[in-house]
Amino acid sequence: MNRIKTVFLLTCLTLLLVAMGNLIGGQSGMIVAFLIAGGMNFFTYWYSDKIVLKMYKAREVSEADHPDFYGMVRRLALQANMPMPKVYIIPSEAPNAFATGRNPENAAVAATEGIMRLLTTEELEGVMAHELAHVQNRDTLIGTVAATFAGAIAMLGNMLQWAAIFGGGNQDDEEGGGLLGSLALAFVAPMVAMVLQMAVSRSREYLADATGARICGKPGALANALRKLQMGAQAVPLKDATPSTAHMFIVNPLTSASMLKLFSTHPPVEERIARLENMASGKV
């Protein structure tokens, strides 16, 4: 269901992009905006692993450095029939973890020192299986596609605002109200695109939970880990966390009680826990 939801959301982003491009005056503006956004996100996609790992001062470790943690990741990768990713540790007491890399052959998983102190071995296995699931499901690629469409729509929104103000865009609206309609769409469409992009991110989190639980075979352990991480992330915030990287972590490092669900990169932890507990009890 989460895969189907992702396809539906990406289709909605595509249709919104086409509608915006046509309203501006054909496909030329849409193509330009798409190419610009695509170029920016292609760079991010290709170099995101190096950028984010450096941002959080992650240090690559070997089996000799951390035999237990490295061995855990290797066992999980074998169980998932995946290439061994690079393994990193982040020098932070904030309990969190993430995966990055453009494909399974060029992937990395990272965990903070805090998460390894907070969780039991089984719980940490659940977390790392969740991160490997993101790699296996190619969520970096899917997130980049969603960001490209959303970015292009935002650019078209800016173009449409100027076009509407100076009389551009399609002039076929003989009923009147074309200017107001164009301006309204110019402001609303980018917001709708952002909501759709966040929905894609949330659907991939649910899928990574389910896939990760199957990889490690312990959905209950992952549920327990999420319960601890929700409290731990609030008690010890991750320094230097940014909105542009928040979606990568297993729990949102920018968690706020006032954050609207529609604009959140992560589903409610309570809902994630409930789904995993249903898996553990055989209800799913």
Q: DSSP H helical segments within 137-280, as ranges? A: 139-165, 178-216, 219-235, 243-246, 269-280
Q: Given pLDDT bands bounded at 50, 70 and 90, which one contains residue 261?
A: low
Residue 40 clears pLDDT 60, i.e. is over it: yes
pLDDT of res. 13: 76
Least confident of 31-40, 58-67, 140-149, 191-200: 31-40
**Residue ranges per domain, the chain?**
2-280
Catalytic residue among 60, 63, 93, 131: 131
- Residues 109, 127 contacting (CB under 8 angstroms): no
- Residues 43, 35 contacting (CB under 8 angstroms): no
- Residues 19, 188 contacting (CB under 8 angstroms): no
Tokens standing for 177?
């109200």
Q: What is the mean pLDDT of residues 107-118?
A: 96
Residue 69 clears pLDDT 50, i.e. is over it: yes
Residue 33 clears pLDDT 70, i.e. is over it: no
Would the pTM count as exceeding 0.85? no
Query: Mind listing the pLDDT tens digit for each residue in 131-188?
Result: 999 999 988 878 877 877 787 788 778 777 776 666 554 445 444 445 666 667 778 8
Tokens standing for 135?
């790699």
Is 131 considered catalytic here? yes
Distance CA 48, CA 59 (A): 16
Q: Name which of 14, 124, 112, 19 is nearest 57 in CA terms.
A: 112
Least confident of 33-37, 198-202, 242-246, 252-256: 33-37
